[in-house]
Amino acid sequence: MSEQRHQGVVTFTRREVLEAGAVASFAGVTSSSAADAAAPARQAEHGITQRLSTRINGTAMALEIDARASLLDMLRERLGMMGTKKGCDHGQCGACTVHVDGRRVASCLTLAAKVDGREVTTIEGISDGKTLHPMQQAFIDHDALQCGYCTPGQIMAAIACVREGHASSREQIREYMSGNICRCGAYIGIVNAIEQAARQTERT
């Protein structure tokens, strides 16, 4: 990934986000009868470049992206930030939850182009140096996970849930966390963790 830093802004030049491998390999195929026979069914679709300025976890970034890209794919495939997970890629599981301007959203259904001029926070941006966010610590304290794949999304949703004022009872926590699926079924620990973190937040 080519990257330049100037005036505190990280700038990325364009790289294919979607179908990067397929596009590159087809571009390199020279015309032959075999290639002609195989090529028409699998035509490379070159994206249209979109410029974008955003802040991710406090760092200003200027990027050129494929206009089709999701915020999730931009974070993972383009910026190498693998903390945010791809589960269903259709807004049904919550694994990709991040905050945009402080509100939780499904990054898989957020067009990356839409975060121009906005602030994105991911799981990588919530700890204070080596000190975990109280919600991260609460998930550890309550064993609120097994495989951990849904956990970054759960934690980002949980932080927002408390901030919104939707963590006043176990029933309310369950309702407002229903967009985050845990296939391991660690829900009891998750609700316990959120209750603890909500109490801590009240005290501070």
Is residue 70 a contact point for other proteins (CB under 8 A)?
yes
Which stretches within 56-186 are classed as H helix?
A: 71-73, 134-141, 151-164, 170-176
Using the rule CB under 8 A, give the single segment among 76-84, 158-166, 183-191, 192-200 that binds other proteins.
Answer: 158-166
* Tokens 């976890």 found at: 57
SS3 for 50-70 is EEEEEEECCEEEEEEEECCCE
Task: Output phi, psi for 15, to 5 deg.
Answer: -140, 145
Is residue 60 a contact point for other proteins (CB under 8 A)?
no
Using the rule CB under 8 A, give the single segment among 7-15, 41-49, 124-132, 140-148 that binds other proteins.
Answer: 41-49
| Contacts to other proteins from residues 104-133, by CB under 8 A | 104-106, 109-111, 113-114, 116
DSSP state of 203: H
Is residue 89 a contact point for other proteins (CB under 8 A)?
yes
Using the rule CB under 8 A, give the single segment among 33-41, 129-137, 141-149, 177-185 that binds other proteins.
Answer: 177-185
Query: Minimal distance in Å, beta carbon 49 to other proteins?
Result: 10
| Contacts to other proteins from residues 1-40, by CB under 8 A | 18
Q: What angle do CA 162, 165, 168 make, to 5 degrees?
A: 85
Quote the tokens at residue 96. Answer: 């990709």
Return all residues near 105 (Cβ < 8 A) that are at least 6 apart: 71, 97, 98, 99
Is residue 41 a contact point for other proteins (CB under 8 A)?
no
Query: Minimal distance in Å, beta carbon 114 to other proteins?
Result: 7
Using the rule CB under 8 A, give the single segment among 56-64, 126-134, 166-174, 188-196 that binds other proteins.
Answer: 166-174
Cβ 71 vs Cβ 50: under 8 Å? no
Is residue 48 a contact point for other proteins (CB under 8 A)?
yes
* Tokens 């009868």 found at: 33
The footprint of other proteins (CB under 8 A) covers 18, 45-48, 50, 66-68, 70, 89-91, 94, 97, 103-106, 109-111, 113-114, 116, 157, 160-161, 164, 166, 171-172, 174-176, 178-180
